[in-house]
Structure formats: structure tokens, C-alpha cells
A and B are shown apart, each in its own frame.
Chain A
Amino acid sequence: MISYSRVETAMYEAMKTAALKMPPDVLDVLQKAMKEESDPLAKMHLELSLQNAMFASEGKGLICGDTGFPLFFVKAGNRTEVEGGFGRLWDAARAAVAKATAESFLRPTMVDPLTRSNPGNNIFRGMPKVELSFEGEGNSLEIIAAPKGGGSEIFGTFYKMLFPSDGKTGIMKFIIECIKDGCYAGKICPPAIVGVGIGGTADLCMKLAKEAALLRTVGTHSSIPEIAEMETKLLSAIRESGIGPMGSKGINAVMALNIETAATHTAALPVAVNAQCLVGRRWKAIISGDDSKITYTGTL
């Protein structure tokens, strides 16, 4: 059985590290993009972003000052047991986020949507958000902490109910329009990871888009050939738009375009887009079900 205190520690460390360290796959792609850009401002956007990340990794600040929405994606196996039950994951998430906020690794950013009052610790109705899923027969617990920045969430979230007759053409048109809108003046902080959900109900569709943006290694493609082809096609087309890093003149508006699909109604074709910004913040903790040992990694 995994002890409650280990869960809290893992959540805190993963969230803190996500705020301080850029994932290796993201870092790699940004370095390549910097070499590719020729406009001086486009290059400088990436140069300074990488320098900023280096400062953060040395303990001199944060990868981005907007630490955004505190999100946890937790995956358990069929035999995983958590002390006190799975409901305690939410207690652990709250304790971890409160601690990380008190220590200024997270900015107090979560507020009441109407009164705008700020509790000061990022803990308020529904936040931090814990997304729990089950997979396989194992007994370990996998936690991905993702402080999701405001820019990409606020300006990079779109949903449209298309219809079967709108087809692939409609889907691609919508995705391209969303990217152009989101990238204007660097709103979503390009080069972005663009997550796309196709199918499901409205909420499932958006969940697919969010997880496509946050939980897939940059540079990988869908295992479904038809979807992988769409990803590649969209990715190379958007390079011709003239949009570069932070909305400057360049080619790297999008570093990855990830599509996930789910079954949908025979009358429907829902499409959702959710962007992740250039720093792609997320860090993973795996707690062993045998000895509660925690392993941390920036690789998914």
C-alpha cells in the first residue's frame, strides 16, 4: 500500500520541479527551432526563453512567472492501493499545492470567477484539479504535475460542433483558424503544442485535446496512421503561415500537433483545440507499489 505522505511528497516535488525545469523533449525542440529561425526578433524570443529556463533550473526564478492552473494527472493500476483510499489524492494535491505556493514556487493565481477574491494559496472550488484514471494490472501510482499557464489556456481553447458532412476539410480549417487566432501577437506563447480532440461528447472532446497537449512526448505521433498523417500535414502547412516564436516573423508557431480521438454520435463531429505554451511544463513522479519509492522524471 502506498502511504499518504508519499503521495503528498510526490505531488509537491513534481509540481515544484515542473515550475523550475523544462522537460527534455521540449528543450530539445526549442533549441532546434532557434537554429531554424532567421528573423532577429524571432531568434531572440527563443534565446531569452532558454536563458530564462536555465536561470530557473539554477534556482534563480521560475520557468514562467505565470504558474497557471495547478493540474495533476494521476494513473493507477488495478492493484494500486493508497492509504485512506483514492479520495485522499485530492487531500494530497491540496496540501502539495498550498506548500508550493507558500514557498513561492507557484504564484497565487486561482481566484473566484465572479467575486475575483483570491484565497492566496491556489486552493479553491475544483482547484487543484486531479484527473484520475486506471490502466493495467500494476500496483504503482503515476503522477504528472502540470502547472498550466494562463496564456495558452485562455487564448488557446476552442470548441466547435461540426457535422459529418464537414469532414476532414472542416476539421483542418477549424484547427488552422484556431492556431492563427491563438498565435496572434504571441497570445498562446508559440512555439505551441497544439492538442486536438476529435469526437466524444463536448467534455470528453476537450479532455482529449487537453491531454493531447499535455501528456504526449513532443515529436511523437498518433498510432493511428490516418491521424498521424493529419498531424504531419497540419504541422508542415502551418510552417508556411509566416508565424514564428511569440507571434514574430518565422516558421515555428507550433512545435507539435497532437490529435486524439474518441467515438462520437453518428450525427456529430465535435472538435476541440487546447494549446500548451512553449515551456510545456510537466514533471512526472512514479510511486512504487512495492516499497513506496518515488522516481521523478521529465520524460513521459
Chain B
Amino acid sequence: MSFIKCLQLPLRKEEAASLKLGEIVNVSGKIFTGRSRFHIRAIESNILPPIDFASVNCFFHVGPVMKKDGEEWKIVSIEPTSSIRFERYGADVIRKLNLRTIIGKTTMGRRTAEALRETGGVYLSKIGLCGNMLGTQVKKVHDVFFLEELGKTEACWVMEVENFGPFFVAIDSNGRSYFEDMNAEVSDRMKKVNEMLGIPSEYAYTKVNPD
């Protein structure tokens, strides 16, 4: 396995600035979780959990599978979810909470990348399916908010993690995106794919409506 850089949370600005696209990292410290409902409520209704976001500054996009063992919450699997779905509110949440680390699956769009450039933050994307291994790297489940109204999957969990990862840097603190760069290459290669299939570059589907 490639060299893995260990990052301490909350992530310092200088450390975030040193991270390069595609670099493989893990993180240690406190994280909080959330999905669509967290994003929508935070921006549309200003509903936020009572968390000190300066110290719990890493937003992990996930709906963990949780099991109650006596009084304690145990993790069955904690598989990052597709962050790109949160693009409508992602940038606003990052600015509002001044976030410097986002962890999720896939990537995020231009608006979020711009917000990360402003906070000097990075977006880290998961590597393969990893929810079982990540579960073993959670040292403690500190708290859970909104459990009653949102349920276990969409609730906001606060956790302590150690050498949590690996993840790769998909958006750096300059707002550059690993997947946007890659997509340019792929779009170019699609010409060859089309050629192999005998699809002419000028091919258009039958139009049944005016422009």
C-alpha cells in the first residue's frame, strides 16, 4: 500500500495547504456526521446541533449502521455516502461552520470547491468499500443529535477517530478537483470509444421538439 500521511483534526490551515490532489491520507481527532437532512435544515431553518465546530471541524458524509449494545452505541458499518448530492447546500454549510475537512464518497462541485478555497479546506474521498474497516477506527461515539426526528441514518453523530482512512484528496485547498481534471481526459478518450462503436461525432438523436 502507498505511503499514507496522518493528519490531526482539526486540520491546520498550513497542513491543508500542503495536501496534493490524489494524495492518500488518514485522520485522527473528532468528526461529526450528516447527510441531506443535516444540510437542508442547517441552511433553510438554521437548525444546528450544539457542537463546538472549531474543535469538531471535520464533516463526515455518512449514514452509519448503528446498533445499541446496552447503553452504548456500536458501529456495524460506516460507509461514506455520495457527497455530490449535497452540492446545493455544501458550500453554505462549509462557510457557515468554517469547515476545513470534508470526508465523503465521490466528490463535490464547483461551488463547494470555491467555498473550500475560502476556508483553506480540503475534500477527502473514500477508497473502495471501507465501512467495516473505518468502523474499527472509531474509538468512541461521543454524542448523537436529532436521533428522534431524523432516525439513525440521518442523525448527527459525533465520534472520536484514530488513523481513520485511508482517503484520497479529491479537492485541494486551492479548489482544484481530482475528478474534474480526470473528466477532461475521459471526455477526450470518449472520441475513441465512439469510433470503436461506429458512432459518428456528428450523430444526433431524432428531434421531435423545436430548440
Contact = CB atoms under 8 A, between A and B. Distances in A.
B76 to A, nearest CB: 5
B78 interface: yes
B197 A176 contact: yes
A165 to B, nearest CB: 6
A165 B24 CA distance: 49
A64 B129 contact: yes
Interface in A260-293: 278-279
Nearest to A177: B190
Interface string A134-174: 00000000000000001100110000101101100110111
Given A62-B77, A109-B63, A48 B186 contact: no
Given A61-B135, A65-B77, A116-B37, A49 B193 contact: no
A180 B106 contact: no
A47 B77 contact: no
B78 A65 contact: yes
B194 A173 contact: yes
A118 B82 contact: no
Nearest to B151: A118
Contact of A169 (B2, B127, B179, B198): B198
B189 A240 contact: yes
Interface residues of B, number: 59
A53 to B, nearest CB: 7
Given A61-B76, A108-B153, A48 B130 contact: yes
Nearest to B207: A163
Contact of A165 (B131, B151, B206): B206
Given A55-B132, A236-B196, A237-B197, A66 B154 contact: no
A30 B195 CA distance: 28
A234 B197 contact: yes
A246 B104 CA distance: 13
Nearest to A278: B129
Interface string A49-83: 10111011000111111110000000000000000
Q: How big is the A interface, by class?
A: 35 or more
A184 interface: yes
B193 A44 contact: no
Contact of A173 (B2, B106, B199, B206): B199
A268 to B, nearest CB: 11
B133 A64 contact: no
Contacts of A47: 1, 128
Q: For chain B, what secondary structure do more than half of its interface residues adopt (helix, strand, loop), or is it mixed?
A: mixed
B59 interface: no
Contact of A163 (B81, B170, B193, B206): B206
Contacts of B186: 180, 241-243
Interface of A, helix, strand, loop or mixed by DSSP: helix
A109 B62 CA distance: 12
A237 B106 contact: no
Contact of A66 (B22, B63, B189, B208): B63
Contacts of A129: none
B166 to A, nearest CB: 8
B206 A65 contact: no
A17 B152 CA distance: 22
B65 A107 contact: yes
Contact of A61 (B107, B132, B193): B132
Nearest to A50: B128
Interface string B47-66: 00000000000000011111
Contacts of A63: 129
A233 B195 CA distance: 12
A170 B205 contact: yes
Contacts of A55: 132-133
Contacts of B22: 41
Contacts of A300: none
A118 B199 contact: no
Interface string B139-158: 00000000000111110000
B84 interface: yes
Nearest to B185: A242
Given A53-B129, A233-B197, 19 more contacts: A41-B168, A48-B130, A52-B130, A60-B132, A62-B131, A65-B64, A65-B79, A66-B79, A104-B66, A104-B76, A107-B77, A118-B151, A118-B154, A151-B105, A176-B194, A189-B129, A240-B192, A241-B190, A242-B186
